[in-house]
Amino acid sequence: MTAKLALPWLLAFAVVAAQTTAYAFSPPEQHQSMGQTQRMLTYSIDAQARLLKQAEFLRFQREEGEEWSAVFDELTGTPHRMWGKGIDIGPTQTASQVGAGVLDLVDRHAALLGVADSEVAISSVNYNERLDTWYIDIDQMVHSHPIYRGGITARVKHGRLILLGADTYPDVPSSGPAQIEETKAVNIATNAGPAENAPHQLTDVELVSLPVEASGALELRTVYKVRSRTDVPIGQWVTFVDAVTGDVLAWFNDVKFSVIEGYHEERTLDGIMVTSPMPLLEIYTVDNSVFADDLGLFSIEGSDREADIEGSYLNVRNQQGAEGHLSFTADGL
C-alpha cells in the first residue's frame, strides 16, 4: 500500500507495508487477503463530462450547490463524490439533527443519488470535535440488508454540508435472498477461508450485499460477512461467504501492519532527498487513534485513516500553510 501527499516543496509521504517473517508481529503478505471486496473505479473525460450535464445533477446545482462539482461512477451513473461550498441543512447541534438534515436533502435528490426506489437507513453519525466535522453514513438496503461499503456518505463541517457521495446501485440485479443457514456460512468461513488450520473465535456475522463487477457488468451478491479472530497467525478476519452458493468469495485481515515514513529534503531546499521514520505521528479513524512508535510503526483497526503532519517531533513549512495532512484507505490490504 502506498499513499502520497505532494506539497509545494516536494515533500511526500509514503505508507508502506512492514516486512517481517515473525507471526508474533506481522503475518506474511499471502495471509492478508484474497479476492476483491471493493470496486476500483476508473474514469474517462468524455463520460465524466456527459454525467456532469445530466438533468438531475444540474437540478442539484440550481437548488443546492451552484458551485459544486462531482466525480461519477461510470457504471451506475451516480456521483461517487460531490463537493463544494457549504450547504445549509438546518440545525446541526446534535446527531439526530444532522442525520435528519442530510436525509432530507437525500430525499430531495433521490434520483441523482440512486436511491429513488430503495430503502435507506442511517448507519452512523459521528462527530470530530477537533475538526468540528460530522461524518454521516447512510445504508442502501437490498432484501432488508445493507450493501457492503455502499450507500451514501456525507461530511458536515462548521454546520454546513461540504461533501456528499453515493456508492449506490440503482437497477443492479441481485443474487436474491439467502439460501444457506448462518451456521453453515460460519463453518465454511472458518474452515475454508483464511487461516483455515487455526482455531477461530467468532466475533460477528452479518448478511450484506457485496457488489461484484465482472466484464463491465455489476451484480449484488447476497453474502454472509463473517468476522473472526485468530491468535496465530494474528488476525481479525473478515470473510465473505456467498449466501446462495456457499462459495468463499473474498476475505481480508482487518489488522494492518504498517510503518509510516516521510520522503523529504534532508535539511533545507538543497535537492538532497532522504527517507525518514515519522515517529509519534498520531494516526486516527472515526472511532480510534494510535501513535506511531519511534520507528514510525503502527497498527490500527478500520480502513479510512488520517494524520495531521504536525507536532513536537515533526513540522512542515510551506507557502500554503504551516502543516500538512495525510489520508489513506487500506481496506483489504
Q: Which residues of the chain have pLDDT under 50?
A: 1-30, 322, 331-333
Residues 24, 231: Cα–Cα separation, whole Å: 9
Residues 106, 97: Cα–Cα separation, whole Å: 14
Cell numbers found for residue 119: 430503502
Q: What confidence score (pLDDT) does residue 97 get?
A: 98
Q: What confidence score (pLDDT) does residue 291 get?
A: 75
Question: Measured in Å, how far apart are the chain's first and last C-alpha atoms?
Answer: 7
- CA neighbours closer than 13 Å in the CB half-sphere of residue 74: 12
Q: How far from 197 is each of 33, 263, 294, 320, CA to CA, in Å?
A: 16, 40, 35, 53
Q: What confidence score (pLDDT) does residue 260 get?
A: 58
Q: What angle do CA 33, 199, 301 make, to 5 degrees?
A: 45
Cell numbers found for residue 96: 439526530
Q: What confidence score (pLDDT) does residue 26 get?
A: 47
Does the global pTM surpass 0.85?
no
